[in-house]
Amino acid sequence: MEKRVVFRSAWLPFVLVAPQLAITVVFFFWPASQAIWYSFQLQDAFGLRSQFVGLQNFYTLFKDPNYLLSFRTTAVFSVAVAGIGIALSLLLAVMADRVVRGAMAYKTLLIWPYAVAAAVAGVLYAFMFAPSIGIVTFMLRQFGVHWNWVIDGNQAMLLVIMAAVWNQISYNFLFFLAGLQSIPKSLIEAAAIDGAGPGRRFWSIIFPLLSPTAFFLLVVNVVYAFFGTFGIIDAITQGGPAQSTTILVYKVYHDGVKAADLGGSSAQSVILMAIVIALTVVQFRYIERRVQY
């Protein structure tokens, strides 16, 4: 079954993988090892003086209750973004798959938001929901909702989740739609003839067949929520108010780039790296088993 290519030459396979390896080493392993090295050091902003401090940067972090709080914030944010993002796009994909008239228009409109960069999406939402001039704020006021996420942490969280989900929905939608279209129609028709209703058809046939796609999207969305949403947060809340939206990666950026604390920031990125590695392992080990390819 397995496809195998046998190279006669001893060096050709190495040459062929070399570019990819070089890219991986230069852009992944090298920076990662630098981060690990910096995480054991205390440095001034200009790199004039640095000293080896062992695990002190990590110790400082875990002693800080606000850093620990940031884990919870990240968990809430990631679960919400990945969960809502996947559920909503699945719903939209199923709907779009059924539509007969103007299907192209719906699909195009749904894919559109993906062309918007995260930072631009952030600014867009920040404007629409701006506490004093936002158009949505104005409408909410008509319904008696007091909307001021600049001071209300829960509203701020809701807003960044909305923006992050909106920005990612198209991507999920595309994959689900492709997945749906590759399901043989005969299977669904057979089930329908046997008397299965639309709900039953979805949960017993369509969803299991979509599970590889859903699993792939779960991994991608979690990584997105962890790293890709940083631009949205920076554009809308900058982690505020009172740290309600400071997710781990935003804190890495704030401490490292804005505040020039390389040691602390590197220690945080090492921790973040460990979390993402652990999460990916868990996903592949336990969730993948239940996925039917």
Q: Which residues bind other proteins (CB under 8 A)?
A: 42-49, 51, 53, 60, 64, 66, 131-133, 148, 150-153, 238-243, 254-255, 257-261, 263-264
- CA pseudo-torsion sign 260, 266, 268, 273: positive
**Nearest CB to other proteins, comparing residues 90 and 248:** 248
> Of 78, 76, 30, which Cα lies nearest the Cα of 223?
78
Q: Are 159 and 130 in contact (CB under 8 A)?
A: no
Tokens of 110: 């749904």
Distance CA 56, CA 52 (A): 9
Name which of 179 and 264 has its Cβ closer to other proteins.
264
CB of 152 to other proteins, least distance (A): 7
Closest separation between CB of residue 291 and other proteins, Å? 41
In whole angstroms, the minimum distance from the beta carbon of 145 to other proteins comes to 15
CB of 220 to other proteins, least distance (A): 30
Kindly report each contact of residues 24-27 with a partner whose C-beta sits within 8 Å and lies 24 or more positions away, as own/partner: none
Closer Cβ to other proteins, 201 or 254, answer by number: 254
The nearest distance, CB 3 to other proteins, in angstroms, is: 47
Nearer to other proteins, 67 or 215 (CB): 67
At closest approach, how far in Å is the CB of 257 from other proteins? 6
Q: Residue 152 or residue 288: which is nearer to other proteins going by CB?
A: 152
Nearer to other proteins, 9 or 132 (CB): 132
CA–CA separation, 150 and 240 (whole Å): 7
SS3 of residue 50 by DSSP:
strand
Cα dist from 40 to 79, 184, 195, 257, whole Å: 31, 55, 65, 18
